Amino acid sequence: MTYTTQMDAARKGIITKEMELVSKKENIDVEVLKNLIAEGKVIIPANKNHKSLNPEGVGEGLRTKINVNLGISKDCCDIEKELEKVKTAIDMKAEAIMDLSSYGKTEEFRKRLIEMSPAMIGTVPVYDAVGFYDKELKDITAEEFLKVVKKHAEDGVDFVTIHAGINRYTAEVFKRNKRLTNIVSRGGSLIYAWMELNDKENPFYEHFDELLDICEEYDVTLSLGDACRPGSINDATDASQIQELLILGELTLRAWERNVQVMIEGPGHMTINEIAANVMLEKKLCHGAPFYVLGPIVTDVAPGYDHITSAIGGALAASYGVDFLCYVTPAEHLRLPSLEDMKEGIIATRIAAHAGDLGKNIKGAKEWDDAMSKARQALDWEKMFELAIDPEKARRYRKESLPAHKDSCTMCGKMCSMRNMNKVMSGKNINMLREDD
């Protein structure tokens, strides 16, 4: 029996090789996984032309995945430097990489990225349109926008961010409800500007069926972008954001009718107390589709530390049911991230994802923490390094400050609680002021 997409296969009762691999990774029964894919609650972004892909599942009951944004810009257009970041991101176990290139040889970078990456690859085709056609935004036609999506699909992109929810009605809601930071989504602002300049409907909304044709042909997952995501805590959960979410829910059902896999992108900036409600709204209004969020960034006043503000929000969001976290680096709002910025962003986001998995009782999550606790109790430093989310940093910190007694550290020395409890509970004496017996 043939199938077009992972969702089509699941609905026909077919277990694909991608489902089998994800089932083993997640320790989930493959029949359960297949049913979740059929319902749209789990996706496996896996373009038929991405030959190096090691597939991952995203959605209900699975580990929270993380995405790393990379790509060249007009001010920073060194392809080799970006590919170095790609290699590092893969080594650091990022499950997804989004190519956000917006200038120059985007096709060369994208093709090399797809060829080398076992991680799933995402793009925002509208970023590429201006450079692809060497035309001003206003002069690009709806047909040309779709051709760029088709090109990315042919190249092997696993998911595409499409800002189809900011239609003319959503735009009117935005105009009537003033914001501090207007539209901060880069892709969303480009679509809004195109609509205003041409006095026309959003081409991706108007030609949504043609977009689904492309996604169905290559099994490209549709990541429905949040053009109206809040760019400040003041703008969170406002009329524009919720109106767009309503449209995204309707588009989700239309995509599922064509067996096209969907995830929903979410905010953005918001205070801690709004995160749970936002997750509930997305899951309700978008029918349980996987939720992919940037942050949320929980305060606006920490440039240079937004990997922390994002990790706080991301951990909470994941614990409430978010499925996919987009990393945020210390360079957010300031510059294109350096290699070191990227590393810090990945680690912060992986911590947030794992903390969220503990909160929603994902199978296997607590076992990792329990193993670390046992290693700490046993003062097994090598095992601690092996289990650490960042083994390199853990090893470096210990090496930089070695204790007099190898079964302790330079914080506590012979007052180490682990050391002393081990001795006392095994019937031994504790010597604080002299050498051990």
69 is in an annotated binding site: yes
229 is in an annotated binding site: yes
Q: Is 60 annotated as a binding residue?
A: no
CA separation for the pair 223, 122 (Å, rounded): 9
The residue whose two tokens read 């480009």 is 190
Residue 228 labeled ligand binder: yes
Annotated ligand binding at 227? The verdict is yes
Give the integer Cα–Cα distance in Å for 59 and 419: 42
416 annotated to a ligand binding site: yes
Beta carbons within 8 Å of 328's beta carbon, 6+ residues apart: 294, 295, 297, 306, 307, 309, 310, 311, 345, 348, 349
127 labeled binding residue: yes
Give, in order, the Cα–Cα distances in Å from 157 to each of 115, 218, 241, 264, 309. 10, 9, 27, 17, 30
Residue with tokens 């080398």: 116
Are residues 298 and 230 in contact, defined by beta-carbon separation less than 8 angstroms? no
The answer to the question of whether 63 is labelled as a binding residue is no
Three-state secondary-structure class, residue 1 = coil
Q: Is residue 152 marked as binding?
A: no
333 is in an annotated binding site: yes
Judge whether 98 and 114 are in contact, CB under 8 Å.
no
Known binding residue 286? Answer is no
98 annotated among ligand-binding-site residues: yes
Nearest Cα neighbor of 199 from 130, 134, 138 is 138
Please give the annotated binding residues, written as ranges.
Answer: 69, 98, 127, 163, 185-187, 226-229, 265, 269, 292, 333, 409, 412, 416
Please give the annotated binding residues for [4Fe-4S] cluster, written as ranges.
Answer: 409, 412, 416
Please give the annotated binding residues for Zn(2+), written as ranges.
Answer: 269, 333
Please give the annotated binding residues for substrate, written as ranges.
Answer: 69, 98, 127, 163, 185-187, 226-229, 265, 292
